[in-house]
Structure 1
């Protein structure tokens, strides 16, 4: 790593963590110094990143302070990312869940189930702000770590539907936490199949943001007063407006192949789930 790269890392650390409020200026300086070292070797262990055991212990002490919390450390970066997003005409807010596997840490506390429920660790829900025009990542605009709470033993499906809090609520919390953009900017929440939930759609509409979600369910749609159809069938009936080539890499025993993506679009009115008491009852036009 050359001198210019080191200087850039120090500037990034100062810009990102220089304004964290940790109730002691010395803590802020320590955080800036630690962040620049962490960025030098992001895949290394903490002792290797800190270069010396003295520095490692100092960071452990810092992170053990009651005022040094995840929200306190991340707040300045969230604010900076939001300002960049509000200065862009169109921004994609790409949200997904990452699991942090700590199964090898047998004595660690405060973790829960991950993966096939035999693993131990926690999850992090992250929203990245991306400028599609330049394919530039503006930063992390929201992030929430959480631990999976196992379902009560013997819980039935109708009981799960009535549960006050669900793990999937984290998707809506991020949307509500990010809130509404300034009038000159358009924000589009992007999610995989995990975001195909009716409250997520309503949360986006309530915050005056758009959404793009990979469909997981063939939802009921209102075709006419007398007839109800289904969303995937309706989408497949739309005429193709454009075609794009797509290279599909080899995976899971399947060979790499070339194919085409057909682009089509149109309006439909989604009907809310009938059996979920927590869901909104109003239809949703998309």
Structure 2
């Protein structure tokens, strides 16, 4: 089992730097931040940009993986975003984990004057976004090979001879972790993803939520079987938190959640850094307890 923590981009630097450094010192395998322009009930609070945050985090850490949880096509085009995130990967020494999702239906979906999309349109855009990044982040062949850049023309995105230039910091490209719950998105994750991410859906009842995340593991396995992919070759990341449950409410709650996720077959779990109030409110002393237990949890999970 690998362990991750989400640090929401709400803290000014250098206060934020303390959290990113501590995430590494605590022994977490990866640390993430949301990729939104603002988010739900926190829209009126301080909220910094994703790529600069990860760039700064790369300069104050040396080992921990750094990720987007998850990057959204609501306000991004794959060509400039590929250049941005590849630069972060180079600065970090090849530590970026690129989480990708279909884009929510909140503030980000309309702030640029976008029309409301149907679920089918949102998935089609997500597929193009992910497939385009898959191609771009492998970089084009060198000029000596006669390359003329990377071109594609789809319903949502177009590139005409896009140039990355150089070599990717990770081979063949940084890992893609696709957020997926529905059958089409699961198929996409199996086809091009290195990892799969889920929040398990909106269920207030714990028993129902745990059943749902167990069902999703089976659906992922079925998608792997249909595609002829070895299911052990795709990472399985579960976000343990939502509006009705918080895994870092206590060390005991964290232990229980990790154990249940491991039993279901998840390879990675992610919790949110305790906030002072409201959503994910908690005591940072719990992080100290959890950090001390991570080696033992890795051994049994």
Tell me the TM-score normalised to structure 1 length: 0.30
Q: Which structure's residues are more often strand, by fraction?
A: 1
Higher Cα radius of gyration: 1
**Which of structures 1 and 2 has the larger relative contact order (alpha carbons within 8 angstroms, sep 6+)?**
2
Tell me the TM-score normalised to structure 2 length: 0.29
Q: Which structure's residues are more often helix, by fraction?
A: 2
